[in-house]
């Protein structure tokens, strides 16, 4: 789905270290992770626990899946529209006049 990243267990370990009172800077330095990455993980954890507003991890997953499905459906619709256009061209009279009853 997304780009490869850190395993969930590693992110949990980082969040546990922060909960123990370690600073973001020290954890980032010790584990060779950027400060911003850790701030993002902490923010998402707070959202998932309902302490902060935003999309939960589950909601983000559902949204990504919905966007993917919408893109697939739009592609299918474009193919169907193209097929209709081709069929219209084949069904239209080729020169001459139409016969009337």
Give 101's pLDDT tier (boundaries 50, 70, 90).
low
| pLDDT attached to residue 95 | 56
| pLDDT attached to residue 100 | 56
| pLDDT attached to residue 47 | 97
Give 34's pLDDT tier (boundaries 50, 70, 90).
very high
Tell me how far the alpha carbon of residue 37 is from its chain's centroid: 18
Give 97's pLDDT tier (boundaries 50, 70, 90).
low
Q: Are 24 and 39 in contact (CB under 8 A)?
A: yes
Average pLDDT of span 59-77:
98
């Amino acid at each position: 789905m997304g780009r490869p990243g850190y395993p969930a267990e590693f992110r949990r370990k980082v969040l546990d270290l922060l909960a123990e009172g370690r600073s973001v800077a020290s954890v980032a330095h010790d584990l060779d992770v950027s400060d911003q990455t850790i701030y993002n993980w902490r923010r998402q954890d707070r959202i998932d626990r309902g302490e902060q507003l935003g999309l939960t991890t589950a909601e983000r997953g559902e949204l990504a899946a919905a966007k993917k499905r919408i893109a697939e459906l739009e592609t299918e619709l474009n193919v169907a529209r193209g097929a209709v256009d081709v069929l219209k061209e084949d069904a239209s009279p080729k020169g001459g006049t139409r016969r009337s009853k």
